[in-house]
Amino acid sequence: MSHRSGPVVATARGAVRGRRQDDGTAVFLNIPYAAPPLGAGRFAPPQPHEPWDGVREATAPGPDARQAERRLGGIDMVPYFGTGRRRGGDYLTVNVWTPAAARGGLPVMVFVHGGGFVAGSARAALYDGSAFARDGVVLVTLNYRLGIAGFLDLPGAPANRGLLDVVAALRWVRENIAAFGGAPDNVTLFGQSAGATVVGGVLATAAAEGLFRRVIMQSGSGLGAFTTGQAARVTSAAAEVLGVEPRVDAFAEIPDERLVEAASKLAGLDLRTAAHRDPLLGLSPFGLVMDVQPAEAVATGQGAGVDLLIGTNAEEALLYLVPVGEYATSTAEDVDDTAARSHPDPARLVETYRRTRPEASYGALRSAIMTDALFGAGSRALATAHCGHTGSSTFAYEFAWRSHALDGELGAAHAVELPFVFDLTHLPRLHGPDALLGPDEPPADLAARMHETWIRFAATGDPGWDPYDTERRATMRIDAEWSQVDDPRGEERQVWS
């Protein structure tokens, strides 16, 4: 099908032609924001893309960052991860959805996908930005380097290259988004899971100052970074698997396929040290590498002046237990092992959660501890660090609607909020006994309200409830009914302080 009649926009590197959608909005796909990361360039900072002549077609999805196929047991996560199978080197790209009759000055939202720092794609079904454009927002999604190329800490290479890609994409937005109708000075950076943790890292990065006004972190962590010492263990293991020296020049010679294969063999590394736990509990050996955690950097003033909306799902860790059959079979020993991986005083941790959840099964206790170790404690730490600054606001939420997928056990698990934020709960692949939203219809207006709330925050800095502070810790509990609560799960919060 020809899109020759589609809208054309001039960017700083060349013109792009998008396509009009049935609802009157327009979408532009696969626009490069940086040069293809090839060869040694995979381990270098992102570089400017070469300009192009004529009009570049921006009507079809582009390639994904190199990755292995990722599964989570019995749950269909293809809408979340994408297929990850579209090959090509020119994958540092953005997708832009915009009201076709853009009048200019519209709020801009830039989304960073999750996937454990090793998987995911901006072209996954859950990140279709049409509803945002329909409702007056310019929505941008982006790809960034993953796995070894994006996050392995290599001597001679800059750290956190995947994060540097996100900063480069934000610079592209600053330079080009006005041509798509967006306001360059009203940009909200948001992300989920690994994407949210990257967003927290960007908030704590001085080089990104001034590129965004607001931040939304969905199920990330402000305490989620590895130390350089922990990262060195991963680098050493990767070099051993590949049979090369742990240096950037040696890794630069290795083709992408072998890097992806090697990354898959690093699962299960024990990255605990005498002074530091593994913030990802062994779920991924890749992540941000920072000796100062984002929450600690924010506490010293980094990110002041940027509004923050931050939250988690009530039962995050069920996604890592239920689909692989580990929830129902959890034992007291599993609970103790999870606590030992999570906290310097595991006995106190388990005692606290048993007291606050007296009816909980071993699986429920294990999930609750994992939920806070991976996301809750680090999100609260960042909220607490941020709310101490004047000139910006901090807001907290907890998403509590329970999916009845997997025989009713999936619950308010990791990623379940995403279809509501993107107003995509109608997608057929999200419904069914093994799908993210389960067999039941979600509450009729939950997606519309949540989507509208995210847009309201992006446009105004106020989602519609009281700000978070260290006295009340006001948090909006999002379910079929919404209710603001003060210091939810306060006793459990205190054990992490």
Between vectors from CA 423 to CA 369 and to CA 402, what angle results, nearest 5°? 35
Closest CA to 16 of 25, 24, 27: 27
Angle at which helices 256-264 and 228-242 pack, to 10 degrees? 120
Give, in degrees to the nearest 5, the angle at Cα 126 between 261 and 102.
125
φ and ψ at 406, to 5 degrees?
55, 60
Active site residue 284: no
Radius of gyration of the chain (CA): 21
For 428-442, the DSSP string reads GGG-STTSTT-SSPP
Quick check: is 342 catalytic? no
Of the chain, the end-to-end C-alpha distance in Å amounts to: 58
**Which of 296, 316, 398, 409 is an active site residue?**
316
- Nearest Cα neighbor of 64 from 267, 289, 260 is 260
Q: Which residue has the tokens 């030992």?
A: 340
Out of 414, 417, 451, 492, pick the active-site residue: 414
Q: Which residues contact 198 (CB under 8 A, 6 or more apart)?
A: 112, 144, 162, 163, 166, 191, 220, 288
230's tokens: 């922990």
Backbone angles phi, psi at 477, to 5 degrees: -90, 115
Two tokens, residue 102: 């853009």
3 state SS of 222: coil
At what angle are helices 161-176 and 194-203 packed, to 10 degrees? 70
Q: Would you give the DSSP letter of residue 496?
A: H
CA dihedral for 91, 118, 196, 59, sign (positive or negative): positive
- What's the token pair of residue 358? 């007296």
Neighbours of 212 (CB within 10 A): 26
**414 in active site:** yes
Q: Please give the Cα distance from 434 to 416 (Å, whole number).
A: 13
Which conformational region is residue 411 in: left (phi greater than 0), alpha (psi within -120 to 50 degrees), or beta?
left
Catalytic residue among 49, 121, 193, 342: 193
Strand 19-20 relative to strand 25-32: parallel, antiparallel, unpaired?
antiparallel
**What one-letter code names the amino acid at 232?**
A
The residues annotated with a catalytic role in the active site are 193, 316, 414
